[in-house]
Structure 1
Amino acid sequence: MTQNPQDAELKTERSRLRRSHERGSYDRDTLYSVLDAMPLAHIGYQLDGRPSVLPTLQWREGDHLYWHGSSASRAIRAMEGADVCITVTLIDGYVLARSAFHHSVNFRSAMVFGRAEKIVDPAAKEARLKAMTDGLFPGRWETLRPITEQEIKATAVLRIPIEEASAKIRDGAPKDDEEDYALPIWAGVVPMSLQLQHPEADPANLSGVNMPDHLSRIRIG
């Protein structure tokens, strides 16, 4: 089958899959569907010459991936101008095969490589924080106390261009050795998903403050 050149748009020597390459994808639509479905990311970086990983929230605007943290954070300072690796993963189910060897999980994952750039302009930084807030909680930014100059200064926002990346997806039934399909052993998939629960009000809420309508629009990713 002839591959569409766009299907390999994000494929590089660093991002290409070495194992289970049939599960890999390098087109933006597939990659973005994973990134947009899960806000929690893990960022690999070097701190004092040693490997470290930071769990944090990520969000995508166009062809850039963003995250934020304290301006005083050692991790943020170490990432600025350095190469990082950002991963996002969702588990969609346990896969129970007829042998322990072939047990697996159904999942969607994304891995993005790039050099972290710090957003310096305060107005641009505020716009990115608004995009993050409204992306997670649609319509909430305008209902909040305005962000202060000091809060903007205390918050660092970094980004990388999405130019070198891969998505990896496993779905469907177990894949057993051919002879094992004749065994009287139950096999199948146990689906799983993240679900939002009913909002719980802060006990410190003022009397008469009702839950806002925009909470009904909150989704995971």
Structure 2
Amino acid sequence: MSDRTGGSYTRDELTTPTRSKERAAWDEETVHAILDAGYLCHLGFVRDGAPVVLPTLYARVGDRLYLHGSTGSRPLRGAKDERGLPVCVTVTHVDGLVLAKSAFHHSANYRSVVAHGTAYQVTDPAELRLALDAIVDQVVPGRSADCRPGNAKEVAATAVIRLELDRVSAKTRTGGVNEEPEDLDLPYWAGVVPVAPAYGPPAASPHTAAGTEPPAYLSALR
């Protein structure tokens, strides 16, 4: 049973990191901001006694994560069972490469979220439509209203699993380099190399009418 209270997610032994605990956070604002800044997650589960981790697209809607897949996928078929599928979902953004004068103190600035729980396949048609639109808009905001929605055959071939956010934590690192005092005068360069996603100019498909300008929401990405 969840012991979640007022804007914070469950804090327990599973959601508390064993190292650098001061970098962890459980508040909704931090967790949601990290999730909303991305669209690619890694889904972990156990299949036939062995760990499996798969990359997939996701969207957050309130306190739910929707993860995209195929109806032919074994893990997603497992989530259709009434017992659900125990999973761990992770999202990470790398914001900088931290280069120290010693190899030991090299690091990265990052934002990450780890969510544990039981996932279930979405079977309600209305919720499935909502989830699919949300996943499209998570990748490119505004796109779901500017393309043909899936037809009955396409929707039947697409699976979405739902994970209620409860046992969730965020972890971040910011700032500069940590150095040993005896290393400060070494002649090596040290500092932070910023990392950020980059979008190139949209390249139209051959089936886009000549002279058609890219929609404004694509310009917003850049």
What's the % identity of the aligned pairs?
A: 44
1:199 maps onto 2:174 in alignment: no
Secondary structure (helix, strand or coil) at the match of 2:184 reads helix
Equivalent in the alignment of 1:186: 189
Instruction: Mark the CA change 1:208 to 1:173 in structure 2 (over 3 Å): closer, same or farther.
Output: closer
* Structure 1 contact 111–165 (Cα < 8 Å) conserved: yes
What is the Cα deviation at residue 86 of structure 1?
0.3
* Structure 2 contact 136–143 (Cα < 8 Å) conserved: yes
1:83 maps onto 2:86 in alignment: yes
1:157 maps onto 2:160 in alignment: yes
Equivalent in the alignment of 1:92: 95
* AA partner of residue 127 (structure 1): L
TM-score by length of 1: 0.89
Equivalent in the alignment of 2:120: 117
Instruction: Mark the CA change 1:122 to 1:8 in structure 2 (over 3 Å): closer, same or farther.
Output: closer
What is the Cα deviation at residue 210 of structure 1?
3.9
Once residues 7 and 144 of structure 2 are traced to their aligned partners in structure 1, the CA distance between those partners, rounded to angstroms, is: 36
Greater mean alpha carbon deviation, residues 161-170 or residues 173-182: 173-182
Once residues 138 and 105 of structure 1 are traced to their aligned partners in structure 2, the CA distance between those partners, rounded to angstroms, is: 28
Q: Could you report, residue by residue, the CA deviation over 1:116-174 in whole angstroms, capped at 9, with x for unpaired residues?
A: 01111112101111122233323322332232112111111111111001111111111
Divergent runs of 4+, >3 A: 5-9, 182-185, 206-210
Once residues 213 and 22 of structure 1 are traced to their aligned partners in structure 2, the CA distance between those partners, rounded to angstroms, is: 41
Considering only aligned residues, what root-mean-square deviation do their CA atoms show, in Å?
2.0
Unaligned runs of 5+ in 1: none
Equivalent in the alignment of 2:110: 107
TM-score by length of 2: 0.88
Once residues 135 and 71 of structure 2 are traced to their aligned partners in structure 1, the CA distance between those partners, rounded to angstroms, is: 17
* Structure 2 contact 24–170 (Cα < 8 Å) conserved: yes
* AA partner of residue 100 (structure 1): A
Equivalent in the alignment of 1:126: 129
Once residues 204 and 8 of structure 1 are traced to their aligned partners in structure 2, the CA distance between those partners, rounded to angstroms, is: 48
* AA partner of residue 119 (structure 1): V
Greater mean alpha carbon deviation, residues 7-16 or residues 165-174: 7-16
Unaligned runs of 5+ in 2: none
